[in-house]
């Protein structure tokens, strides 16, 4: 190839390169211009917002969580969930029972078989009024009585409360556990569970247990929750009152609702829903 031909070829490539660069620059400029004039506001920087507690989704009544693999009718499942106490004792415990104590256990078993709540309550009342009460009564008898009372539920709260002052921590824990089980029984209406809670905050001193039970205010309709909170304010013990402010904030999503008047105002702004009767059980005045 001659020197002239080579020079001519290079001149053409330079022109093509210049044209290509100009085209790229023009396209880039067009994109910038279009972005500035598209009418869309520039993206605002994200600002961290302090979260505040919100009321958790309400628990539907009468719908216990089934273990995996169990498929039964609802009434059959409920019967399997709540089994009557058997009152089986260790050999040592059995050997230490007096004849009167053995008869007491047999009488409680018979009352359970007959589902006679009044007889069970009378037997426990007799036990709690005996000269041996509480330290002279074997733990096995106390645990059996607590189990029987728990089977019948809220009707036996006064008798159950009699075990909360026991010197044996295991006895107290067993009684507290019965209160907790009643509070999470969603076959009861929210008003029925509210009454259990009010009785619990008068006599239970375990802060962890009280905290768990007070949490159940979240699973009550607004009117029942507010009325119950006001009763805890007035009737609760020191431990329950100390836990109440945080619980109120969790239930309502607001801070500083520390008087009955403020709670009533909140309720006016957050009335019950129309479906609350179905969700939480019938209203009982």
Q: Are 156 and 149 in contact (CB under 8 A)?
A: yes
Q: Are 84 and 150 in contact (CB under 8 A)?
A: no
| pLDDT given at position 238 | 96
- Strand boundaries in the chain, DSSP class E: none
Q: Which helix (H) or strand (E) holds 193?
A: helix 190-203
User: Which DSSP string do the residues of 194-224 spell out, in sequence order?
Assistant: HHHHHHHHHH---HHHHHHHHHGGGGS-HHH
How far is CA 80 from its chain centroid? 23
Q: Smallest Cα–Cα separation from 206: which of 180, 186, 232?
A: 180
Q: Smallest Cα–Cα separation from 193: which of 238, 165, 228, 164?
A: 228
How far is the CA of 103 from the CAs of 22, 98, 234, 236, in angstroms?
107, 9, 42, 38
Q: Smallest Cα–Cα separation from 204: which of 195, 192, 213?
A: 213
Tokens of 71: 């498929």
Q: Report helix, strand or coil for 90.
A: coil
Angle between helices 207-215 and 238-252 (to 10 degrees): 30
Q: Which distant-in-sequence residues (6+ apart) come within 8 Å of 99 by Cβ?
A: none
How far is the CA of 77 from the CAs of 19, 74, 131, 192, 217, in angstroms?
82, 5, 42, 22, 26
| pLDDT given at position 27 | 58
How far is the CA of 217 from the CAs of 52, 135, 141, 268, in angstroms?
18, 36, 33, 18
10-residue averages of pLDDT along the chain (285 residues): 47 52 56 51 41 40 33 40 60 72 86 91 94 91 92 93 95 96 91 96 95 94 97 97 95 95 97 88 58
| pLDDT given at position 140 | 87
| pLDDT given at position 277 | 84
How far is CA 37 from its chain centroid? 54
């Amino acid at each position: 190839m001659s020197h002239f031909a080579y020079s001519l070829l290079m001149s053409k490539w330079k022109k093509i390169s210049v044209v290509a660069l100009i085209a790229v620059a023009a396209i880039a400029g067009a994109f910038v211009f279009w972005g500035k004039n598209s009418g869309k506001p520039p993206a605002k920087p994200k600002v961290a917002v302090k979260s505040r507690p919100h009321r958790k989704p309400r628990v539907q009544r009468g719908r216990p969580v089934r273990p995996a693999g169990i498929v039964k009718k609802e009434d059959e499942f409920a019967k399997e969930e709540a089994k009557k106490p058997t009152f089986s004792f260790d050999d040592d415990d059995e050997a230490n029972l007096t004849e009167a104590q053995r008869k007491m256990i047999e009488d409680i078993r018979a009352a359970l078989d007959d589902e006679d709540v009044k007889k069970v309550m009378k037997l426990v009342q007799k036990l709690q009024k005996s000269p041996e009460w509480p330290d002279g009564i074997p733990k096995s008898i106390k645990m059996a009585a607590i189990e029987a009372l728990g089977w019948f539920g809220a009707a036996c709260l006064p008798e159950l409360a009699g075990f909360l002052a026991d010197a044996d921590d295991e006895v107290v824990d067993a009684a507290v556990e019965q209160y907790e089980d009643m509070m999470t029984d969603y076959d009861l209406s929210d008003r029925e569970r509210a009454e259990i809670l009010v009785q619990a905050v008068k006599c239970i001193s375990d802060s962890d247990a009280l905290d768990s039970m007070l949490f159940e205010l979240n699973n009550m309709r607004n009117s029942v929750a507010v009325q119950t909170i006001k009763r805890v304010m007035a009737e609760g013990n020191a431990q329950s009152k100390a836990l109440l402010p945080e619980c109120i904030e969790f239930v309502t999503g607001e801070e500083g609702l520390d008087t009955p008047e403020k709670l009533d105002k909140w309720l006016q702004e957050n009335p019950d829903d129309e479906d609350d009767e179905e969700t939480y059980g019938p209203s009982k005045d």
